[in-house]
């Protein structure tokens, strides 16, 4: 507590000296003498136009690199799909070509005159069951022509570099495989009901294959959420089930840089 010297009327002593008396000031305290409390304030300088332009330029560069990376990934996907489609197309063409030259049941080896006569070289199935042979012939011809068209078109690089065209090629390949399956059912089964059973079974297998990928993806996500340690034990298996692929280091770095640029841009706008 501070004290203030206040002069009072002199008090005389016997020896004639003057005494001064110290009286505490009732209005002066330590709190009143302390400086006022100051709060820290941050003032961000406004960026210069050159810095803003440089930030926008870097952000544009990150976007361009990401677009180029996506195009490269699509091109790699197109090349892989081209190889698989070419392999399947060649196999279907070879099988249907051999089936067309030697139809199921074989061919007559000699000529025969009469009500039950036949001509050498004609298909035995054509004379015994014309409906089955007709179904086999058109289905086999469809598969053969579809495979030939796909092989010819896929040799042109400009054709298969577009995603819609690659999807059309996949659809054509599925059409060829379905026709091949129908030709097999017509050539091997002796009853219509058996052919129907074979077709329904094949269609069911295709549907199961398409649905199993989505089912396995949900199973992988469920295992990842319930048992996180499975991802540490076998991360590659879990990525395969869930469909999530690991990112490369350079892509991670680009994403981090892009995130920093966005944060800086938001700070500039604010």
Q: In the block, which residue shows the tokens 């002796």?
A: 190
The per-residue pLDDT for range 109-131, each reduced to its tens digit, is 877 777 777 777 788 788 887 88
The reply to whether 46 falls in a domain is: no
Q: Clarify whether residues 157 and 224 are in a common domain.
A: no
Q: In the block, which residue shows the tokens 């030259």?
A: 101
Whole-structure pTM value: 0.51
The reply to whether 2 falls in a domain is: no
Q: Clarify whether residues 181 and 212 are in a common domain.
A: no
pLDDT at residue 104 greater than cutoff 70: yes
107 strand-pairing partners: 123
pLDDT at residue 22 greater than cutoff 50: yes
Residues 6+ apart with CB under 8 A from 79: none
Last residue of a domain, one of 172, 190, 208: 190
Q: Which of 139-143, 187-191, 222-226, 249-253 has the highest mean pLDDT?
A: 139-143
Q: How many residues does the chain have?
A: 270
- CA-to-CA distance for 47 and 265, rounded, in angstroms? 10
pLDDT mean over 232-251: 54
Q: Clarify whether residues 203 and 226 are in a common domain.
A: yes
Confidence band for 246, pLDDT divided at 50, 70 and 90 = very low
Q: Clarify whether residues 229 and 181 are in a common domain.
A: no
Range of the domain at 180: 71-190
Percent of the chain with pLDDT over 90: 4
């Amino acid at each position: 507590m501070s004290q203030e010297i206040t002069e009072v009327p002199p008090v005389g002593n016997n020896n004639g000296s003057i005494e001064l008396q110290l009286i505490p000031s009732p209005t002066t305290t330590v709190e009143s003498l302390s400086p006022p409390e100051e709060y820290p304030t941050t003032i961000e300088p406004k960026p210069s136009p050159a810095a803003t332009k440089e930030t926008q330029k870097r952000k544009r560069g990150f976007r361009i690199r990401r677009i180029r990376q996506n195009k490269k990934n699509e091109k790699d996907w197109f090349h892989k799909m081209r190889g698989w489609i070419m392999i399947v197309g060649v196999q279907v063409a070879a099988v249907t070509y051999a089936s067309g030259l030697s139809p199921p049941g074989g061919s007559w080896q000699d000529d025969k005159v009469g009500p039950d006569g036949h001509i050498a070289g004609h298909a035995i199935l054509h004379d015994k069951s014309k409906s089955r042979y007709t179904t086999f012939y058109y289905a086999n011809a469809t598969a053969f022509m579809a495979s030939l068209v796909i092989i010819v078109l896929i040799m042109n690089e400009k054709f298969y570099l577009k995603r819609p065209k690659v999807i059309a090629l996949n659809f054509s390949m599925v059409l060829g495989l379905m026709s091949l399956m129908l030709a097999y059912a017509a050539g091997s089964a002796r009853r219509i009901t058996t052919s129907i059973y074979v077709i329904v079974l094949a269609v069911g297998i295709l549907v199961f294959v398409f649905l199993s990928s989505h089912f396995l993806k949900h199973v992988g996500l469920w295992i990842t959420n319930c048992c996180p340690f499975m991802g540490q034990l076998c991360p590659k298996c879990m990525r395969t089930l869930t469909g999530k692929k690991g990112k490369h280091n350079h892509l991670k770095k680009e994403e981090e840089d892009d995130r920093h640029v966005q944060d800086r841009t938001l700070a500039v706008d604010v």
